């Protein structure tokens, strides 16, 4: 019988129906609240019934006009066609009650001392003989009960496998309405059969297509991830399946679980990043990316996919968390470092940009192309203070080339604050090489500061260096005399340059 058939109501019937509800719950006293479909207690109860264990459980669904309820105790075995009861352990009990419009049918089945089923049948509260019509009703309702509750799923899956293989099981799952019951069937299929890669891919695709509940699909995919062999194409399928989970927390949990249980190659990592990109929650997306950073290979294509996923996060702090996580990866290529710097530049918050760049400065190579990308990113920070902090962090790297120091000096000009410009130059003065190009860039930056006091401090810092040539000292004195507007600041620099020339 198709369950939807008896739920149809004539147009002349009631105009408003109560919302259809389904509940599985532990059996208890009358009036006890039913547990929701996705509750852990309900899931464990249904799973126990599926395994044939002697857990008591109850099931009910209904609207204003139609309802179905089931109570079960003990171990009950059904016939091969699931249209009758073949055996029960002593003390077992089954009750099925169905209401269609104004007609109620109830069957009570108990076991005698030898486990033989004993039937009591009621219609409209009248006790009737369990005759052929009653048996036809049981044969019609029992397959629906089994599909709705998942009871005896293990035996049913094994029977289906013996008759029609995996195809038969998947067809049966397609007939099941409830997410939890689908989950139970998929679980029993994994336990009962060693899936080939082709079969496994079909199972993953069907589960992600047919299980609407986020928690049930999460648990099903995680169970599959643990059972399947280390085939990367199947890992890709698992990440694609996880995209179908609607809940951000459940999707993030499934992606992270799969990543930690499977070997992640480049193809799987790219599929993982794509799945993460579909997570609506900023915090959950960042959390999944942090897991990806721990397990993914340091491949340029993978890092690009990772950064694309990170850029879908709107929260500055969460995006920065994702970028600082990938910065910890060993073996990143210069091209990946350049991409990370570009991604940092797109963070809206200046303080979060600086946080990422500071971490990057601690770990990236001093490669000229990498540092140029770093400095371009730093130049885009809106806050003068944070921009200066990023440049000072870059100065902390060892073995920077002269062109990098020139670039740092040139970037100082992008800082609006005179005090912050002076702070960076004073940090640079004791570190930079004294090549002509570097000193010229330094003087250009220092004399470009609008504050005479900061000009003076930056030039005096440079004049503390050992090894400045007489030609450089003369050039500093000449430019100070021509470009510093304050007489006192101008004279202080000229006097100090003269002292250095005498000392040398």
Pairing relationship of beta strands 93-100 and 103-111 according to DSSP bridges:
antiparallel
Q: What is the pLDDT of residues 376-435, one digit of tens each?
A: 999 999 999 999 999 999 999 988 999 999 999 999 998 999 999 999 999 999 999 999
Q: What is the pLDDT of residues 391-402, one digit of tens each?
A: 999 999 988 999
Q: How far is CA 252 from CA 191, 248, 321, 344, in A?
A: 25, 6, 15, 23
Give the mean model confidence (pLDDT) for residues 462-478: 93
Matching residue, tokens 């399947």: 228
Neighbours of 134 (CB within 10 A): 17
Output the pLDDT for position 73.
86
Q: What is the pLDDT of residues 229-277, one digit of tens each?
A: 889 999 999 999 999 999 999 999 999 999 999 999 999 999 999 999 9
The 3-state DSSP class for residue 105 equals: strand
Rg, Å, the chain Cα set: 36
Compute the distance between CA of residue 84 and CA of residue 14 in angstroms, rounded to an integer: 35
What percentage of the chain carries pLDDT values higher than 70?
89
Sheet holding 126-128, edge to edge: 21-25, 57-62, 66-73, 93-100, 103-111, 117-123, 126-128
């Amino acid at each position: 019988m198709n369950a939807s058939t008896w739920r149809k109501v004539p147009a002349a019937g009631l105009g408003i129906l109560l919302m259809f509800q389904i509940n599985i719950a532990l059996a208890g006293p009358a009036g006890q609240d039913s547990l929701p479909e996705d509750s852990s207690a309900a899931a464990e109860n249904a799973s126990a019934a599926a395994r044939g264990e002697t857990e008591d459980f109850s099931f009910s669904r209904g609207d204003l006009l139609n309802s179905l309820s089931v109570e079960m105790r003990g171990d009950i075995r059904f016939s091969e066609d699931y249209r009758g009861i073949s055996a029960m352990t002593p003390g077992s009990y089954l009750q099925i009650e169905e209401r269609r419009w104004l007609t109620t049918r109830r069957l009570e089945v108990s076991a005698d001392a030898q486990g033989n089923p004993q039937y009591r049948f009621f219609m409209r509260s009248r006790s009737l003989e369990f005759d052929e019509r009653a048996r036809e009703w049981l044969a019609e309702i029992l397959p629906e009960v089994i599909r709705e509750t998942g009871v005896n799923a293990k035996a049913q899956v094994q029977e289906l496998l013996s008759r029609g293989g995996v195809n038969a099981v998947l067809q049966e799952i397609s007939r099941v309405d409830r997410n939890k019951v689908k989950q139970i069937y998929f679980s029993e299929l994994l336990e009962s059969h060693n899936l080939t890669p082709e079969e496994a891919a079909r199972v993953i695709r069907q589960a992600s297509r047919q299980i609407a509940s986020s928690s049930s699909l999460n648990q099903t995919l995680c169970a599959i991830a643990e059972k399947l062999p280390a085939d990367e194409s199947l890992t890709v399928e698992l990440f694609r399946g996880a995209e179908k989970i609607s809940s951000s927390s459940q999707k993030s949990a499934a992606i992270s679980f799969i990543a930690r249980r499977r070997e992640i190659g480049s193809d799987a990592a790219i599929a993982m990043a794509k799945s993460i990109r579909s997570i609506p929650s900023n915090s959950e997306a960042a959390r999944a990316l942090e897991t990806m950073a721990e397990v993914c290979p340091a491949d340029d294509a993978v890092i690009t996919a990772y950064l694309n996923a990170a850029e879908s996060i709107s929260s500055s702090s969460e995006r920065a968390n994702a970028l600082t996580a990938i910065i910890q990866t060993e073996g990143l290529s210069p091209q990946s470092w350049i991409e990370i710097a570009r991604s940092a530049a797109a963070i809206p918050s200046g303080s979060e940009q600086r946080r990422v760049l500071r971490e990057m400065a601690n770990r990236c190579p001093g490669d000229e192309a990498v540092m140029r990308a770093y400095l371009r990113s730093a130049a885009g920070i809106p806050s003068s203070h944070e921009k200066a902090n990023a440049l000072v962090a870059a100065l902390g790297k060892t073995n920077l080339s002269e062109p990098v120091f020139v670039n740092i000096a040139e970037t100082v000009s992008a800082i609006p604050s005179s005090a912050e410009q002076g702070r960076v130059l004073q940090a640079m003065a004791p570190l930079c090489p004294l090549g002509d190009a570097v000193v010229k860039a330094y003087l250009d930056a220092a004399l470009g500061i609008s504050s005479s006091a900061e000009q003076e401090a930056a030039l005096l810092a440079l004049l503390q260096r050992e090894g400045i040539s007489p030609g450089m000292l003369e050039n500093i004195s000449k430019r100070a005399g021509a470009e510093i507007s304050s007489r006192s600041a101008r004279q202080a620099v000229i006097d100090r340059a003269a002292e250095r020339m005498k000392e040398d």
